Structures are given as C-alpha cells and as structure tokens.
Homo-oligomer: A and B are copies of this chain.
C-alpha cells in the first residue's frame, strides 16, 4: 500500500520537481508554524527567501503606543523574524500566558496570513491566524475529550422581517437522546458580526462543552442569531452571495431587529425542547449585541430572567424616534418591577465604551435598578468577550 500512496503523493507534488514557485510551495509545506513549546513560548516560521523584512504582529506581543486623534492608544505589538540560509524566517516569543491569540505576518510591509497555519478566523472582513496556549481559562477554548454538543446552522422563518434567515444553534451533549427540556441563552454578536461570530471567534461550543462537563454550567441551548436585518445569512452564507463584509451595515440599530426578535423566540420554542418560561430564558450580547440585549430585554419586559451586557454599545441616541427606543426609562422601570434574577454588566477598563457604561450604571443606580458589575482589564476585544461568556454562563438557571 505504501508504494501506491507514494505514487499518489508524488503525482500530487510532482509539480514541485522543476518549477521554482512550486518548489517554494513544497518547501513551505514542510514548515511548522506556530510551534507551541512545552514552556508556552511559541516559534513562528515563514519560508520567504525573497523577502527583505518579515515581522509578526498580534495580541501575544506587548502592546505598543500609537498616536491617534484620540491621543495615545495601545496597538498590537510587532517583532522581527530572522532569516536563515534556507530562506526560513523565525521568531521565538517569550513564555506566554494561557490564551487564544491571533497574529499576522508583515512581509516587506504587507500584512498577510501565515501560510503554514490553516486556522483562521474572520472578524468583519479580515482573516487572522489563531493559536491557543493552553492552561487556565484557555483550556475552556480547546476541544477536549468530553461529551460534545451539536452545532446546527438552520434557517428560520421571520415574518417580522419577511424572510427566511440563517441561525446558529448549539444544543448540549445528550440533547438528542433525552426527553428533557432545556433552558435557552440567546447570544448576540456585535457590529460587523453575524451568526458565525460567537461560534467561531467566541468559541461558544467549546466553552459550553467544557463548562457543562465540569459541572459549572447547566446544560442549555445557545441560540446565535444574525443581528443584521438586511442579511438573510452571514456574508457568503446567504442569498447576497460573496461580498466584502462591512463593520456596520444598514438598519442594525434602528429597532427593526429588536421588534422582530419575537420571531426567533417563537422559532426556538416551537422547534426545540425548551423550558419556555422567563426563569429559563437568558439573553446576552457584545457591543452592538449588548445594545440589542438591553433594548430587547426591556421591550419584552417579562421575558428574560438573565440579562448580560458585554462591552455594550450603550450610547445615548439623539435621533431615536421608533417605538422600540421610546419610553426607555419607563420600560426599564417596568422590567425592574417585573423582576429578574441577574442583570450583568461587564466592561474593560480601556474600552472606548467604558464611560457610556458608567453613565448607564449611574442611570440604573438612580432608578434603584439592581445589577452586577464586572470590570476587566483590556478593551473592546474578543479576548474579553470569551471570558465574559465563561463567567456569565455559570450564573444562569441556578
């Protein structure tokens, strides 16, 4: 058999024998990058014999101060790779803390992906490579040898938006082979995201699988809808086809999504075995999804017992005139009077929405509306949102 396999391999790589470009591909295929060492340092490698400068940039490096119109801000650090006689560039990092990191290479000033690392995640229109340094909370982001839930991409009918829409749904391990009913967490993405954001960037299924296996979270269904009402599905996954995703598309924060959110609840509650009651419904979202969460949980005031605002885009809206955004104080008061078990607000100290969240807290304080508040390091980044999800989920449905 090995002889035949060798023939297949030779046939597939036959191009490598003569052409310089194909030889480069062949050599590049031998490269391992990133290589995570036992001491949690990481070596990055790139085969680029013609390059005169190669850098790596990513959130595993110490941040650099960058001048911006808003003053000095932290930007991702950079480090130089060194070239050996075979055209292979190398950089070995310091010992890194447990985390899911992202990085890119900068080759002669051009920022691009690491061709040796097929693990990429898309954030809006950009794809960057990722790697995990295990240990601590980062083990929640890994696929471990434990029971796994199911992740389904389905389509639901939204009469409120007049279309079928794509949605990502996590059901916990054992869902299919039980008669039990489960609680539901509705988990909303930020501007530039879609129904792929939480499952990919957010590592939702890994976090849930791990927390459930550790007995730290109740088995639950997690519903990840698309908050961009002009899309039926994520870019490339809907009928708009392949196009360049934008940071913020039309009609994302105009009330349309919130007012049609009942379609999603109805779909979930008529298609899954769920405990269809307030005590078993949670809603949370990041950034724009935190804005949606605040409004949805208030607009449907007696629907959710658990509300999570992660780095929520809680800005005062001077031009809000629609039904969803009217009577905010009054409906918040109704929500408070109806009662809930948890109103959870988390924000990073350097988040550009930090002050907006403090203003919202002041408002809640003045109303006597109770909430829990978590302040983390860092800013408006996925690293925080994965951690917030890991912190929020164990508080649910107890």
Q: A21-B106, A248-B9 are in contact. Are A120 and B120 (CB under 8 A)?
A: yes
Chain B proximity mask over A182-195: 1 for CB below 8 Å, otherwise 0: 00000000010000
Across the interface, name the chain B residue whose C-beta is closest to A199. Answer: B153
- Which residue in B14, B112, B317 is a CB contact (below 8 Å) of A115? B112
A window 228-263: CB within 8 A of B = 232-233, 235-239, 241-242, 244-245, 247-248, 253-254
Q: Cβ of B151 and Cβ of A152 under 8 Å apart? A: yes
Across the interface, name the chain B residue whose C-beta is closest to A321. Answer: B1
A125 sits at the interface (CB 8 A):
yes
Within the complex, the shortest CB–CB distance from A249 to chain B, in Å, comes to 11
Q: How many residues of A contact B (CB 8 A)?
A: 98
CA distance A9 to B109 in the complex (A): 24
Q: A1-B319, A107-B110 are in contact. Are A68 and B239 (CB under 8 A)?
A: no
Q: Cβ of B319 and Cβ of A2 under 8 Å apart? A: yes
- Which residue in B145, B233, B247 is a CB contact (below 8 Å) of A239? B145
Q: A75-B15, A132-B242, A147-B164 are in contact. Are A116 and B111 (CB under 8 A)?
A: no
Q: A115-B126, A164-B147 are in contact. Are A254 and B1 (CB under 8 A)?
A: yes
Q: Chain B residues near A24: list those with CB within 8 A.
A: 109-111
Q: Cβ of A118 and Cβ of B110 under 8 Å apart? A: no
8 more A-B residue pairs beyond the given contacts A15-B75, A50-B109, with a C-beta to C-beta distance below 8 A:
A1-B319, A3-B319, A8-B248, A11-B380, A17-B67, A120-B127, A130-B242, A151-B152
